[in-house]
Amino acid sequence: MDKSHAIEMFYDGDCPLCIRETRLLQRMDRHQRLRFTNIAAPDFDASSLQKTQDELMAEMHGRLPDGSWVTGVEVFRRLYSAVGFGPAVWLTRLPIIKQALDLGYFVFAKYRLRLTGRCRENCSIEPSKVAGGL
């Protein structure tokens, strides 16, 4: 990954909420600090990242310039810090707020296909290690 980027965001381009968030971040990214990769693109290959499509679909993933990975709410913290919201992001690390956000994200990630109208039957996704493994 190019060191000029703070984080690469892996998003589901078939998810209307993910698309909205990605577009917002693209508009806010005035200094080109973010990189965006659509995991729903026909030419995307999760195995090239040593990940599975299911892993990437289960929760938000971000890759740092050194190649390390962050997941869940931490990805959003890194994204919003990179576009200048560091002071506000700091508040999300306070214990009670952090726990609430992690739990909220865990529930959203597990049921996002249903919540976004992309699933009609039993199709919850199992996020790994989100909210302390709830």
On the question of pLDDT at 95 being above 70, the answer is yes
| The pLDDT value given to residue 133 | 41
Domain ranges of the chain: 7-132
Q: Please report the DSSP string for 84-102 in residue order.
A: T-HHHHHHTTSHHHHHHHH
Q: What is the pTM of this model?
A: 0.82
- Give the span between the Cα atoms of 50 and 68, in whole angstroms: 12
Q: Do the Cβ atoms of 8 and 63 come closer than 8 Å?
A: yes
Tokens 């992001």 belong to residue: 89
Average confidence (pLDDT) over 105-128: 72
Predicted confidence (pLDDT) per residue in 4-51, tens digit: 899 999 999 998 889 999 999 999 999 999 999 999 999 999 999 999
